């Protein structure tokens, strides 16, 4: 799991994206990105998630975002990223398929 905090914008999206890419190197079946402490995601900040999704796809890793607040959720939806990663406003389910909430 990778816990992010603060704001995800064009200023830090590449750095955060590299951090998420590195997390996929473990070849785990799921990469959980905990957004509980993320207050804001800009459209340019969406680049971080795209970088993670590309790396995860290459490794067969599913990407989920948990504890997604209202503003980050709206940004992910606006960018169409909720179709590429599983988004949960709380914890992810403990078992079963991961479906978007």
Domain boundaries, the chain: 2-87
Q: Give domain 2-87's CATH number out of 3.40.30.10, 3.30.750.24, 3.60.20.10, 3.10.129.10.
A: 3.30.750.24
Q: What is the pLDDT of residue 94?
A: 64
Task: Dihedral sign for Cα 49, 40, 28, 21, please.
Answer: positive
Under 8 Å CB-to-CB from 51, ≥6 apart: which residues? 13, 14, 17, 18, 20, 21
Give the confidence band of 92 by pLDDT, cuts at 50, 70, 90: confident
**Least confident range of 22-36, 44-58, 83-97:** 83-97
Q: What is the pLDDT of residue 98?
A: 46
Task: Dihedral sign for Cα 14, 15, 16, 18, please.
Answer: positive
Query: pLDDT by residue (tens digit) across 1-41?
Result: 999 999 999 999 999 999 999 999 988 899 999 999 999 99
pTM score? 0.88
Cβ proximity of 70 and 64 under 8 Å:
no
């Amino acid at each position: 799991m990778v816990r992010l905090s603060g704001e995800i914008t064009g200023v830090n999206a590449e750095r955060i994206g590299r951090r998420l890419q590195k997390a996929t190197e473990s070849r785990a079946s799921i990469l959980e990105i905990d957004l509980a402490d993320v207050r804001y995601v800009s459209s340019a900040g969406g680049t971080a998630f795209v970088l993670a999704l590309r790396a995860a796809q290459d490794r067969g890793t599913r990407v989920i975002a948990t504890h997604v607040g209202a503003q980050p959720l709206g940004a992910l939806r606006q960018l169409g990223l909720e179709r590429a990663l599983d988004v949960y406003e709380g914890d992810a389910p403990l078992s079963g398929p991961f479906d978007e909430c």
